[in-house]
Every structure is written in structure tokens, then in C-alpha cells.
Structure 1
Amino acid sequence: MVSPPDLPPDLPVIERRAVRLVVRDVDERVLLFHTRDPDHPRLGEWWELPGGGLDPGETYLDAAVRELREETGIVVAPAEVGAPTWRRRASFIHRQLRHVQDEVVVTVRLAGPGPDVDEAQRLDYEREDYFGFRWWPVAEVVASIDRFYPGRLPELLTPFLAGHEIDEPFELWS
């Protein structure tokens, strides 16, 4: 990966590949975490898709299954994870690093209503950063003026769920 040339020179840069999940339940609701960064209160609060970085040797599929289990307690088989049809590159600050990520966004469709989130396998910083969750009706995400990660989630969610291929340009999120 090559860092974009216009990154703010604010923090050490870590480059990685990552996966985000649009987890949809039988009632057409999407799981989002209410989150913040305690090191950067000026960023406020936002709603974020589950997901995270790929560990060494992991595929996006492996990471999607692992991240979903760790962050939510929801266990799915790799065959239940959709194709990576939304691709994006983004940068954001988190704690004392600037992340530059090549991300794919995938879907997971649950057979029943969205369960409560089980935080037992979360990492310590995730327990601090994520202070709530909500199963959002798709129409409410699309109409919302709240802040999201990815930033264009309200605009791109409907085409993504309709099966469109999305190659999103670089997003300097924070």
C-alpha cells in the first residue's frame, strides 16, 4: 500500500487491510455500534459498522467471521458472508495512530431478529470505544443526519444491498 500524499502529519501511520460487515436481520435492520475515541473527544460520537483489520495470513472472509464473533458474539460460517462488492480506502485517527486502510465491506444476513450484542470477546479498547449498539432499519440509516463510519454509509447502503459493485474513492474520515 502507498499512503495518500495529503495525509495530515499528525500521528504515526499504520497501513492495513480491513473488513467491515453490514449485518442485516430478518426485519431489514442493520447493526451499528455507537462509538467514540476517548483519546480524541473532539471527534464526538458516531455510528460504525462492525469489523476491523486482517491479522497476518487471514483472508477477508476469515477476518469477517472472527471480527463479528469478537465484537458481537454472533457466530456465522464463512459461507454466510457475502462477496466483497464494496471496496474503499480510508484514513482515520484512532488512539495514537493514523490508520490507512484498504477495506472491503461484506454482508451477513441473519435468519432471525437481531440479537443483543455479547461483549465477552471484545478487546479492551473496544469495550471503551463502543458504548452502545442499535439495530437500525435500513430506511433510517439512509435518512439519518448522524455521523457514520464509513462516512458515506447512508448514501451507499441501498445500492450496496441491491448488489451493486462499489469502488469508493479515498475517504479522509478524521
Structure 2
Amino acid sequence: MSELGYRPCVGVMLVNADGRAFVGRRIDNREGDWWQMPQGGVDEGEDLKEAALRELHEETGVTPDKVTILRKMDEDIAYDLPEELQGKLWGGRYRGQRQTWYLARFTGEDSDIDLNAHEHPEFCEWQWLDPEQLPEMIIPFKKRVYRSVLEAFRDIV
């Protein structure tokens, strides 16, 4: 699987006015207690910031007018899927993801969040939590990614 490349992806650390981060429980992983921030693939030729706003809307129902992008991480973060998942996800074309992360301030109300805004929901429930909890909420193979995101944005959350 080492010959496979990385899937281009964006992620959004959405924080509210209290500095708490949005996380959702994946609808396809109800047996695990793993939560994640909004993220998803980038379409061919798509602008990264536009992809981040699109993914945020698809996964949370939050529209671009309810967020302010505060920062983009300086460096992308790549991670490999566990060996048992390589060649199975994303049509078997990728060994992992190369993620570009954005920090966004949520300026709306909790009622603006709608997990069913898209025809294929990603999350079955959501919550705001202290950003320091993020690495413990994510599936183990993404912990390094979440620690890096937290470190990059900690000063302005």
C-alpha cells in the first residue's frame, strides 16, 4: 500500500464565542465513542477555503455567513490509515489523507447547527467541548493530527 498517495482533505476547527470546539460523533461509527471535527475531501480544482466552508456546511448545516475564518495552518498534516483500512476507504486509492486545517469562529446560534442539512449526514450527534479534550475524543490513529491542530491554533482559540 506504500505506493498509494494521500487524499487531499480539509478540516475545520469550529470554535464558539466561549472558545469551545465543535465535535460530532460519526454516524458510521456508533459502536465507538469517537468524535471528530468537520473534515472532508477536496474536489479536483476546488479552492481549499471554499472546500472547508462546503464541508462545514455539509456536515453541520452551518452556512458561511455564520463563521469567520481566523487562520489556516501553515503546514498540511498527512496521516496513514491503519493497515487494515488501507485500500478499503475512498475506493482503495489512498493510503491516508493530507489535510489542510482552518480555524473558524462560529458567529451563529446553536439552533443554526443542523446535522441533517445534507442528504448524507456524517454525524449522529454533536457537542461543544474544551479544545484540550480534542486529542482524547478522536480515533487513535488521528490523535497526532489533532494535537498538531490544537497546537497551531491554541493561541487564538
Higher helix share: 2
Give me the whole-angstrom Cα distance separating, in 2, the residues matched to 1:4 and 1:94. Answer: 9
Sequence identity, in percent?
21
Q: Deviations over 1:63-116 (max 9, x none)?
A: 001111111111125x93222335211233399425422111110012356556
Counterpart of 1:31 in 2: which secondary structure? strand
- 1:30 offset after TM fit, Å? 0.3
1:158/1:61 CA distance change after superposition, 3 Å: closer
Q: Who is 2:7 aligned against?
A: 16
Give me the whole-angstrom Cα distance separating, in 2, the residues matched to 1:161 and 1:15. Answer: 24
**Equivalent of residue 148 in structure 2, options 153, 156, 172:** 156
TM-score by length of 1: 0.66
1:69/1:113 CA distance change after superposition, 3 Å: same
Q: Who is 1:106 aligned against?
A: 102
Q: Who is 1:32 aligned against?
A: 23
1:48 partnered with 2:36:
yes
Give me the whole-angstrom Cα distance separating, in 2, the residues matched to 1:115 and 1:107. Answer: 21
Amino acid at match of 1:152: R
Q: Who is 1:130 aligned against?
A: 123
1:18/1:158 CA distance change after superposition, 3 Å: closer
Does the CA-based 8 Å contact 1:32-1:49 persist in structure 2? yes
- 1:21 offset after TM fit, Å? 0.6
Does the CA-based 8 Å contact 1:35-1:45 persist in structure 2? no
Q: Who is 1:91 aligned against?
A: 80
Corresponding pairs, count: 145
Amino acid at match of 1:122: H
Give structure 1 stretches of 5+ with no counterpart: 6-12, 165-174
Does the CA-based 8 Å contact 2:11-2:101 persist in structure 1? yes
Give me the whole-angstrom Cα distance separating, in 2, the residues matched to 1:94 and 1:49. Answer: 22
Give the alignment's Cα RMSD to 1 decimal: 3.3
Give me the whole-angstrom Cα distance separating, in 1, the residues matched to 2:145 and 2:56. Answer: 19
Counterpart of 1:122 in 2: which secondary structure? coil
Counterpart of 2:17 in 1: which secondary structure? coil
Give structure 2 stretches of 5+ with no counterpart: none
